[in-house]
Amino acid sequence: MSSEGTFDIETMLRQAFAPVDPPEELQLRLEGTLGSLIEMAADELETWELSTLGDPKNWARLGRPALAAVVGSGAAVGLVVLRTRRQRHRRRAQSSNVAELALRTLRDGGREARRLLDDLR
């Protein structure tokens, strides 16, 4: 309440919607889970043989590798976003404008994607 006895709604809303960073433990657990999903999807795709597509009887079994590709891709994107997001404060401090911040973010995202691909090899 302000000095006149009224509520300052704007201040209350700003305090209520202030961003909260998740705990470091949660980020590490999420990173580990996404990494294990990527590994499981890669293992599933490794065992699948493209030569089996020649037989129409095997077409019904395409769901499993397709699901592995979708889950693995989604987990990889999530992991890249999570790792890129972790560096946002440093990028913001180093950038002088929004365009430079966007460029630095894209560059860091690409670097994390290459690092993830190297880890999978």
pLDDT (tens digit per residue) in 35-77: 999 999 988 888 877 777 777 777 777 788 888 889 999 999 9
Question: Of 11-25, 65-79, 89-103, which range is least confident?
Answer: 11-25
* Rounded-to-integer distance, Cα 52 and Cα 56, Å: 9
- Percent of the chain whose predicted confidence (pLDDT) is above 70: 94
* Rounded-to-integer distance, Cα 15 and Cα 9, Å: 10
Q: Rounded to the nearest 5 degrees, what angle is found at the Cα of 61, between the Cα atoms of 55 and 66? A: 115
Task: Tell me if 12 is assigned to some domain.
Answer: no
Task: Tell me if 13 is assigned to some domain.
Answer: no
Task: Tell me if 10 is assigned to some domain.
Answer: no
Task: Tell me if 9 is assigned to some domain.
Answer: no
| Count: domains in the chain | 1
Task: Tell me if 66 is assigned to some domain.
Answer: yes
Task: Tell me if 37 is assigned to some domain.
Answer: yes
pTM of model > 0.75: no
Q: Domain of residue 109: give its range.
A: 23-120
Task: Tell me if 68 is assigned to some domain.
Answer: yes
